[in-house]
Amino acid sequence: MDFTEAKHRIEQLKAILWENSRKYYVENAPTMSDYEYDQLMHELEALEARYPQYATEDSPTRRVGSDLETREAQASTGREFAKYPHKYPMLSLSNTYSIQEVEEFADRASKTLESAFTWCCELKFDGTAICLTYRKGKLLRALTRGDGVMGDDVTQNALRIASIPETLQGTGWPEEFEIRGEVLMPYESFDRLNHERELQEEPLFANPRNAASGSLKLLDPEEVGRRGLFCTLYHIPVGQVDYPTHDEALKAAASWGLPISDKRRICHSIGEIEDFIGHWDTARKDLPYATDGIVIKINELACQSLLGYTAKSPRWAVAYKFKAEQACTPILSIDYQVGRTGAVTPVANLSPVLLSGTMVKRATLVNEDQIRSLDIHEGDWVYVEKGGEIIPKITGVELSKRREGAAIPTFPSTCPDCGTPLVREEGEAKWFCPNSQGCPTQIKGRLEHFVSRKAMNILCGEATIDQLYQLNLVTLPSQFYGLKAEQLVMLEGWKERAAARFLESVKASLDVPFERVLFAIGIRFVGETTARDVARHFGSIDAIASASREELLEVPEVGEVIADSIFRYFLDVENCREVEALRAAGLKMRVEEGAAAGKSDALAGKTIVISGNFSISRDDMKALIEAHGGRNSGSVSGKTDYLLAGTKPGPEKLKKAADLGIQVIDEETFMAMISEGNRFSYADNKADAPENLFPSDTVQKRSSEEGMSFPEASASSSAKGKDIPSADNLMEPTLF
């Protein structure tokens, strides 16, 4: 690797690690396993050691991850915690998955320390860090880790955790001291919480760690108390208590009524440490809460002081991480599920097996190619593990257990939901059901898209949609607007308050601007940005419905695929009738006067991709781009003019921008660009079509252009069996 390659890889690794750190600490939604994250961190450490000229102070190798919420997060959640500094920096531990590296760590300590010492080995709890300060025996403050220097004040929430005492007992505690530990959610509480959230149609937590972290940051302390959290404490910073060893300090803390784990052992050799690790690698499966490793600390506090700290971690401790838990279990059957976009996904039903404290019964097989690459046969015993202890996945087959003559699974040729023959377009990995108008799963998927936050923002989850669909109350989006309170309260699980809140959100959706209405109706490939561009170009739904392919292609960034999709959408008489029903319900079907007017034309003709965090929300930043004549795009391409990068931008976007030679600008540069803009008026508004163009007129006009005869429309909303263009998506959302 030459110097240029090393610099590029270091910058890439830093961006990846910071992004995943944010997802882990702030969003509580990790997308990378601990093992993958740690391996990338080790690679970065090695590169920075080899090329120190590229090591910077803001590197994740020198700073801990931060759970401090950004202004954007505070604005979106409506919460803001007071922040206080930690008396002593709250650092992270160095991680290893290798006993050999534990031995090397022990050897380094032995060579540095002249006196004899012992080791204190403890469980590594998989929760969220907390720092408690007691003054005169009373809890003064509870802080999250934050960025290691400053933490969020969650004292009122901590007081609702039963295991955290407000007042210490016994005697001998210092006038004031800090003690650190972990807030955990037991598996039983986790399962109960997710069951409650499922009933309320709220997103489920991926694992107990995420649930504990999210619960600790709730606005309502009473709700925190109901979450079933508990706390375990394991560290008093050196200098705050007068004890010779870490173990004795913890015993004293336990006598004061503090929750200290008794699952620790004093070890005198590497052999004893390995025995402790081996014991808990198996025994942890019987614990009521999540653990992900063993922490090995030098027990003598004087030795800890002598060894000190790096910028990020103590030199007197290391964490040995358990590898992802794996189990071997037979496949009972394979289901083929139809997704919201028509994609058919195979899912293995497994003989239940306990992994990381939860019973795993199902695991996705992704697609037909994955089944073939794993060489899965019916009834095979397969290895299942939880990537990052989050999502179960099948990693291999135990061939020694395969039955003689076991058959290879046959992928269905027709849709398991509606029976329509499946299609697989060239270059696609998945099979799709093309019956988008008649397939129940796809119909419900369109309803879910219609009510989503960036579309009509109606208070309606997946379970509610399924209930309304099964009762034939809502099979088309327009039918949401005909529901009555007296209908809803008669349904199972509905109460007057829930019905009122739902109907209020339906009424509020009538104020949604036309750009979002166009996005909400779910034209294939028409994402959020495209819907806005098309809406503002034509000005009304009638002008769009009347447009030819050539006219649609006049919209910037609308290519042949999107133009053809829009054109064909309005060829379908049922689609046109649904649009008219939505108009009759009161939805906005034209751009409101002044809605497309901007503040300047400073960014006229410029396509901008945003990535990272900014001083304002991402939605506000996108609105600024549009207000000054620019166009937002979700992905970097040769048509991109600028990549607007905030803090912790996406590494893939940075790499692609560099490869394409696209200019990367920061927020300060962007603000300077728009501050010099000139006022302009929006003129390109093709809103001269009749206000109520009858759908059949549009259909007949289109049919004549195509040289086609259009069949009479059925009164039924089902289009099963029609010749419908194949689709891999009902819409193409803008992703960041």
- Residue 646 tokens read as 């905030």
Amino acid at site 17: L
Alpha-carbon gap, residue 469 to 451, rounded angstroms: 14
CB-neighbour burial class of residue 410 (10 A; exposed 0-12, middle 13-18, buried 19+): exposed
Alpha-carbon gap, residue 231 to 254, rounded angstroms: 13
Alpha-carbon gap, residue 160 to 169, rounded angstroms: 18
Question: How many C-beta atoms surround the C-beta of residue 408 within 10 A?
Answer: 11
In angstroms, the first-to-last Cα distance of the chain is 31
- Catalytic site residue 639? no
Alpha-carbon gap, residue 418 to 431, rounded angstroms: 14
Relative orientation angle of helices 99-112 and 270-283, to the nearest 10 degrees = 140
8 Å CB contact between 313 and 141: no
Alpha-carbon gap, residue 404 to 647, rounded angstroms: 57
Question: HSE on the CB side for 388, CA within 13 Å?
Answer: 19
Q: Which of 437, 524, 439 is nearest to 724 (CA)?
A: 437
With vertex at residue 294, the alpha carbon angle to CA 192 and CA 301, rounded to the nearest 5 degrees, is 120
- In sequence order, the 6+-apart residues with CB closer than 8 A to the CB of 728 are 341, 342, 343, 425, 428, 430, 432
With vertex at residue 616, the alpha carbon angle to CA 141 and CA 592, rounded to the nearest 5 degrees, is 135
- Active-site pick, 124, 217, 386, 588: 124
Q: Which of 324, 254, 255 is nearest to 263 (CA)?
A: 254
In order of 23, 95, 360, 388, 391, the CA distances from 30 in angstroms are: 5, 18, 20, 9, 11
Q: Which of 98, 105, 96 is nearest to 38 (CA)?
A: 96
Q: Which of 148, 156, 102 is nearest to 124 (CA)?
A: 102
Query: What is the DSSP annotation of 302-327?
Result: HHHHHH-B-SSSBTTEEEEEPPPPEE
391-397 vs 381-387, strand pairing mode: antiparallel
- In sequence order, the 6+-apart residues with CB closer than 8 A to the CB of 540 are 514, 589, 590, 591, 686, 687, 689, 691
Query: What is the DSSP annotation of 495-563?
Result: -HHHHHHHHHHHHHGGGS-HHHHHHHTT-TT--HHHHHHHHHHH-BHHHHHH--HHHHTTSTT--HHHH
Sequence-ordered alpha helix ranges (H) in 452-491: 462-470, 485-488
8 Å CB contact between 499 and 704: no
- Integer Rg of the chain from CA: 30
663-665 vs 642-645, strand pairing mode: parallel
Q: Which of 699, 715, 439 is nearest to 568 (CA)?
A: 699
Catalytic site residues?
124
